[in-house]
C-alpha cells in the first residue's frame, strides 16, 4: 500500500481526518476505524444531504442558491452515535428530527452535488462540522476535512483509487442490494463528481500537504483499516484495544 509519512504528530488525537474522492472507501474505512478506536464516525457528507433533504421537504427549489444557502445557515444539524439498531452507522438530527435514512433517497442523491457546491452552504456547514469535531474522539470523513474543516487534525488520511475501481465498487454494491446498475453510467457519474469536487471555487478536493496518501486499488477494506489504525497508534495515549483517546 503506497503512503506518505504524516507530520504534525502530537500527544493527543481529538480527530482523524479522512478525505478522498467519491467511492474511494472513506465511509467504510472511517466507520471501521472508528469502531476499532471507540470513536464517533462522522461522515460530513451527511450534512450536505441533510440540507438537500430539508430544502426538498420545504419546497425550496434546489436551483435557488440564495434560499438553499439561507436554509443551511438556519438549520441545526447533529451527528451522534447510532440511537437505533437498524444498521445505521450514526444518527443524523436536523433540528432534533431523526432524518438518517431519509438522506439516502433518490431525490437527495440527485441534488446533493449541486447543494454541496454552494459557497455559503459550505461555510455554514464547515462551522457545524468544526463544532462536532471539537468534542474530540472523532473519525471525520469528507472531501475537505484536512484542508478546510479541521486542518489542525493530528492525523490526516487521503484515500485514493482509480475511477474504474471506484465505479466497480459502486456497481457491485448496487447489485448486492438487488438494484439495477449500469457500470458505464456509474463510471460517468464518478468522473462527473470528481470534476465538480476538484473544480469548485470553495474548498475544492485536494490533498493536504501533511496527509498520508493511501492508494486502495489493490487492498481490501480490512487491510486499509489496519493501516489507518496503525498510523493512529502513535497519537493514542492508550493501546488501541483500550478504545483510543
Structural domain boundaries in the chain: 1-39+137-245, 45-135
What angle in degrees, to the nearest 10, is found between the helix axes of 45-57 and 119-133? 130
Angle at alpha carbon of residue 203, lines to 131 and 137, rounded to 5°: 30
As given in the structure block, the three cell numbers for residue 99 are: 432524518
As given in the structure block, the three cell numbers for residue 148 are: 478546510
User: Rounded distance, CA 43 to CA 79, Å?
Assistant: 9
User: Rounded distance, CA 94 to CA 92, Å?
Assistant: 7
Band the pLDDT of 22: cuts 50, 70, 90: confident
Q: Are 69 and 121 in contact (CB under 8 A)?
A: yes
What spatial distance separates the first Cα and last Cα of the chain, rounded to whole Å?
Answer: 26
Tell whether the model's pLDDT for residue 237 goes beyond 80: no
| pTM of the shown model | 0.82
Helices (H), 19-162: 26-37, 45-57, 65-74, 106-116, 119-133
Residues 1-39+137-245, CATH architecture: 3-Layer(aba) Sandwich (3.40)
The predicted pLDDT at position 18 comes to 97
CATH topology of domain 45-135: Rossmann fold (3.40.50)
Amino acid at each position: 500500500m503506497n503512503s506518505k509519512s504524516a507530520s504534525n504528530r502530537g500527544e493527543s488525537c481529538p480527530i482523524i481526518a479522512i478525505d478522498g474522492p467519491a467511492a474511494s472507501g472513506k465511509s467504510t474505512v472511517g466507520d471501521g476505524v472508528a469502531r476499532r478506536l471507540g470513536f464517533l464516525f462522522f461522515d460530513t457528507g451527511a450534512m450536505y444531504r441533510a440540507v438537500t433533504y430539508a430544502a426538498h421537504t420545504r419546497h425550496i427549489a434546489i436551483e435557488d442558491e440564495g434560499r438553499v444557502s439561507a436554509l443551511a445557515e438556519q438549520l441545526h444539524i447533529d451527528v451522534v452515535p447510532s440511537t437505533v439498531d437498524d444498521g445505521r452507522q450514526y444518527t443524523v438530527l436536523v433540528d432534533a428530527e431523526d432524518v438518517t435514512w431519509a438522506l439516502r433517497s433518490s431525490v437527495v442523491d440527485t441534488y446533493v452535488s449541486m447543494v454541496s457546491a454552494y459557497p455559503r452552504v459550505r461555510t455554514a456547514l464547515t462551522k457545524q462540522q468544526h463544532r462536532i469535531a471539537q468534542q474530540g474522539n472523532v473519525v471525520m470523513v469528507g472531501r475537505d476535512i484536512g484542508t478546510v474543516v479541521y486542518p489542525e487534525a493530528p492525523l490526516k488520511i487521503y484515500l485514493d483509487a482509480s475511477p474504474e475501481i471506484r465505479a466497480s465498487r459502486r456497481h457491485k454494491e448496487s447489485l448486492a442490494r438487488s438494484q439495477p446498475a449500469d457500470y458505464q453510467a456509474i463510471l460517468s457519474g464518478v468522473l462527473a463528481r470528481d470534476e465538480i469536487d476538484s473544480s469548485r471555487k470553495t474548498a475544492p478536493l485536494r490533498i493536504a500537504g501533511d496527509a498520508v496518501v493511501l492508494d486502495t486499488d489493490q487492498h481490501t477494506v480490512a487491510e486499509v483499516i489496519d493501516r489507518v489504525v496503525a498510523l493512529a497508534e502513535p497519537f493514542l495515549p492508550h493501546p488501541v484495544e483500550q478504545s483510543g483517546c
